[in-house]
Amino acid sequence: MLDIKFVRENPDAVDKACASRQNAHWDRERFFELDEERRATITEVEGLQAERNAASKQIGLLMREGKREEAEAAKAKVAANKGRIAELDTRRGEVEQELFDLVAGIPNIPDPSVPYGKDDSDNPEVRRWGTPREFDFDPKAHWDLGPELGMIDFDRGVKIAGSRFYVLGGMGARMERALINFMIDTHVQAGFKEWWPPVITNAATLFGTGQLPKFEEDLYHVSPDLYLIPTAEVMLTNLHRDEVLDGSQLPLWYCAFTPCFREEAGSAGRDTRGIIRVHEFDKVEMVKFAKPDDSMNQLESMVNEAEVILQKLGLPYHVVTLCTGDIGFSARKCYDIEVWLPSYNAYKEISSCSNCWDFQARRANIKYRDPQEFKGTQYVHTLNGSGLAVGRTMAAIMENYQNPDGTITVPEALVPYMGGVEVITPEQ
């Protein structure tokens, strides 16, 4: 979340940022009403406490002088002040909670380098790698290749779970597992520490990374207080919630594989075929904790680390900068990596890498200490990125590596993880 002091001193900047995001709003008038009431309450409490302290001293003096009636009157005044102070303290707590909730609903301020735009059609391309394949036959979509090769079973997925679920079998199951191991190994070799977190989390954890309260409708509830995670970012970032990190150890690089669960509220009719937009999917996630002056460098590094996966797999892609109208709630700057999918004749998102600045750290209370740079503590910067979405990577491999006879060539880098299988055929 944003610093309340920043919001108080820079309301016009908040207005501008929300306007640039197109669909973001904050109640400026209510913010200043609450802020003024909070200040007035504090002032009144301080005045009453001063009166109480003075009256308490006077009571002792009056008692010593034998002025019992005056002392009793002073005691009554102290008691009245005490009751009023308790009322004001209760009201102050209510005001501060409403003020906190209001500020918690304001999205992050986009970095000055983020281009203005209305939606994803305004995201400028940064670079591209590889050339989309030109087929000398009619290529098939992964939703046709999968069932024909026994890799994906959509009907049974719907039968046992519901719409937007699927089952992987045979080489499909093996490729999913191979991709997970390949991605994790690549990141660990690059210097990431691997974690294996739970896939069930609590509300405080989801608040820390910004999923709650804004995106509650996209989450799966498993009990009144527990949820299935939408991404491993939630768990990896909150590993250090309410902690003070050692600045000399920064940056920290973490990665993890987890299943991810999303209701996909509001996505009716979008990417309904295949495994591009489903309720449960596997993903390898990267998270970094960095010093403020290094976080933008770490963002560029994180994008490169996701690109390495695609380059090793030989999959064409491009990188775009998310404009103000498309950037996520918690992000200050974000890049999307989009892989080429022949079935769409277009690039589709396979990784999103964000620098959240101190936005998540303030919500999750993650600070760091570096005595050589400053006294006390300050908020760390958090970053996250997909490295990569496993199902979408499989879909891209199936479509880009398909052969005229309906088989699929396994990318060379993945062959060792596939037990030496080089070509996937219907018989496997």
Domains parsed from the chain with CATH numbers: 4-104 (1.10.287.40), 120-424 (3.30.930.10)
Catalytic residue IDs: 262, 277, 349, 352, 392
Task: Band the pLDDT of 5: cuts 50, 70, 90.
Answer: very high
Q: What are phi and psi of 109, to 5 degrees?
A: -85, 120
Instruction: Please report the pLDDT score of residue 282 as a whole number.
Output: 98
Residues 41-70 have a mean pLDDT of 74
pLDDT in tens, 40-50: 999 988 888 88
Residues 331-351 have a mean pLDDT of 97
pLDDT in tens, 344-380: 999 999 999 999 999 999 999 999 999 999 999 999 9
14's CB contacts (< 8 A; 6+ apart) are 2, 7, 26, 28, 106, 109
CB 353 within 8 A of CB 337: yes
Task: Band the pLDDT of 65: cuts 50, 70, 90.
Answer: low
CB 232 within 8 A of CB 264: no
Residues 203-210 have a mean pLDDT of 98
Mean pLDDT (the chain) is: 94
Instruction: Please report the pLDDT score of residue 427 as a whole number.
Output: 78
- The answer to whether residue 63 scores a pLDDT higher than 70 is no
pLDDT in tens, 259-287: 999 998 666 666 678 999 999 999 999 99
Instruction: Please report the pLDDT score of residue 270 as a whole number.
Output: 66
Q: Which range, 189-193, 222-226, 424-428, is most confident?
A: 189-193
Residues 127-146 have a mean pLDDT of 97
Residues 51-68 have a mean pLDDT of 67
Instruction: Please report the pLDDT score of residue 229 as a whole number.
Output: 98
**Amino acid occupying residue 87:** E
Share above pLDDT 70 across residues of the chain, in percent, rounded to a whole number: 94
Q: How far apart are the first and last CA of the chain?
A: 51
